[in-house]
């Protein structure tokens, strides 16, 4: 039996939804993990179960300030991901993407670490090409309410590729499409968490606009598998690579699936569509299949069952109690 060689790995945004699953996976593979987070949208509760692992460390730090750790690999996930949260302090969101990337890349250059960056399908904006493939340059409103996130992430990609060209920093840029699963925050306003919580409490399901806009939902375990495969790939595989599940659904279809699954009495409540809300989104994952040998395995139905179980527990225990860790 061959074990993965021991590595020191930094995960920025490690106490968030995706970051906490990634820390868990990296520890399972015998790595030493430093979880850096400013706890803006993440929580110590997300990584509380890892606290007794001697290979795990938590650092409270804002990535807009410089850092230095002697590590082999970095996963740069720090950034609020839900529209509600990234629009709350748009200037700090831009700083997190831009200054955060500069700090992470400067460090990667000095310590010669490989660095994965969590980019996003939002770099394609409200896309005019469907499905979205990596050669598409996107359709982003640079002065709209989503721009702090979209343009910040686009600038971050530019920085990653410049550090790669100028300084040979080994980079991996993954463009993540909508991902869901346990440890999404209950009140971050994202569609899967909103609908599940509403359905479990028989409250109206809030459909923004007519609900005909589409998204393609990837279960978190599939995505984390893609992250680690990407990191393990040859340094010539820089990306960008789309990481997501190509099965596309309308928001209305998602609502119906969740209502059925929960056996809920919720009704649909139609509300105002936020500006610049992308009308359709579906990843073309041919590149990920070819270069990483990866494609998602978990169906929406299977993934929703696990996510509903999680939110059900949160509600049963009471949110305050559930997120209390000390």
Catalytic residues: 149
206 binds ligand UDP (CB under 6 A): yes
207 binds ligand UDP (CB under 6 A): yes
Considering the complex, state which of residue 270 and residue 276 has its C-beta at the smaller distance from ligand NAD: 276
Q: At what angle do helices 251-262 and 191-200 cross, to 10 degrees?
A: 30
Query: Residue 79: which of ligand UDP, ligand NAD, none does it interact with, CB under 5 to 8 A by kind?
Result: ligand NAD
Terminus-to-terminus CA distance in the chain, angstroms? 39
Query: Residue 77: which of ligand NAD, ligand UDP, none does it interact with, CB under 5 to 8 A by kind?
Result: ligand NAD
- Tell me which residue of 237, 117, 100 sits closest to 173, measured CA to CA: 117
CA distance 313 to 128: 40
- Tell me which residue of 145, 154, 161, 132 sits closest to 288, measured CA to CA: 132
In three-state secondary structure terms, 125 is strand
Cis peptide before 309 (omega within 30 of 0): no
The two beta strands, 114-120 and 8-12, are unpaired
231 binds ligand NAD (CB under 6 A): no
Is the separation of the CB atoms in 271 and 207 below 8 Å? Answer: yes
What is the per-residue binding string for ligand UDP in 235-264, x denoting contact by CB under 6 A?
A: ----------------x-------------
Among 14, 19, 80, 83, binds ligand UDP (CB under 6 A): 83
Among 76, 93, 164, 213, binds ligand UDP (CB under 6 A): 213
Query: Judging by beta carbons within 10 Å of its beta carbon (0-12, 13-18, 19+), is residue 290 exposed, middle or buried?
Result: exposed
325 Cβ contact partners less than 8 Å away, ≥ 6 residues apart: 44, 45, 48
In three-state secondary structure terms, 220 is helix
Least distance from C-beta 6 to ligand NAD, angstroms?
25
The two beta strands, 214-216 and 248-250, are antiparallel
Least distance from C-beta 297 to ligand NAD, angstroms?
18
Q: How many residues bind ligand UDP (CB under 6 A)?
A: 16
94 binds ligand NAD (CB under 6 A): no
Considering the complex, state which of residue 9 and residue 176 has its C-beta at the smaller distance from ligand UDP: 176
Q: Which residue in this structure is represented by tokens 């299977």? A: 302
What is the per-residue binding string for ligand NAD in 12-51, x denoting contact by CB under 6 A?
A: xx-xxxxx-----------------xxxxxx---------
Considering the complex, state which of residue 229 and residue 264 has its C-beta at the smaller distance from ligand NAD: 229
Among 132-140, 184-192, 256-264, 285-293, which window interacts with ligand UDP (CB under 6 A)?
184-192
Task: By CB under 6 A, name the binding residues for ligand UDP.
Answer: 82-83, 178, 189-191, 194, 206-208, 213, 215, 251, 273-274, 277
Task: By CB under 6 A, name the binding residues for ligand NAD.
Answer: 12-13, 15-19, 37-42, 62-64, 77-81, 96, 100, 118, 120, 176, 178-179
């Amino acid at each position: 039996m061959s074990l993965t060689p021991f590595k020191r790995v930094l995960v920025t945004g490690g106490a968030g939804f995706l970051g906490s699953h990634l820390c868990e996976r990296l520890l399972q593979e015998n790595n030493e993990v430093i979880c850096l987070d400013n706890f803006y949208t993440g929580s110590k509760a997300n990584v509380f179960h890892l606290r007794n692992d001697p290979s795990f460390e938590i650092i409270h730090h804002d990535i807009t300030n410089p850092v230095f750790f002697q590590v082999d690999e970095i996963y740069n996930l720090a950034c609020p991901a839900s529209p509600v949260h990234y629009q709350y302090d748009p200037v700090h969101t831009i700083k997190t993407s831009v200054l955060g990337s500069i700090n992470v890349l400067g460090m990667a250059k000095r310590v010669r670490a490989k660095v994965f960056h969590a980019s996003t399908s939002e770099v394609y904006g409200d896309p005019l090409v469907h499905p979205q493939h990596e050669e598409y340059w996107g359709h982003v409103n640079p002065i709209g309410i989503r721009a702090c996130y979209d343009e910040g992430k686009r600038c971050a990609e530019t920085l990653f590729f410049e550090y790669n060209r100028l300084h040979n920093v080994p980079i991996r840029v993954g463009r993540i499409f909508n991902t869901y699963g346990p440890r999404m925050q209950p009140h971050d306003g994202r569609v899967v968490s909103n609908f599940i919580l509403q359905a479990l409490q028989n409250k109206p399901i809030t459909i923004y606009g007519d609900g005909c806009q589409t998204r393609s939902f990837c279960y978190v375990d599939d995505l984390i598998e893609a992250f680690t495969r990407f990191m393990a790939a040859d340094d010539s595989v820089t990306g960008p690579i789309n990481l997501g599940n190509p099965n596309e659904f309308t928001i209305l279809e998602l609502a119906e699936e969740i209502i059925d699954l929960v056996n809920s009495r919720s009704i649909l409540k139609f509300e105002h569509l936020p500006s610049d809300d992308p009308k359709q989104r579906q990843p073309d994952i041919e590149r990920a299949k070819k270069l990483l040998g990866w494609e998602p395995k978990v169906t929406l139905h299977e993934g929703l069952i696990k996510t509903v179980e999680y939110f059900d527990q949160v509600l049963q225990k009471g949110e305050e109690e559930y997120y209390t860790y000390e």
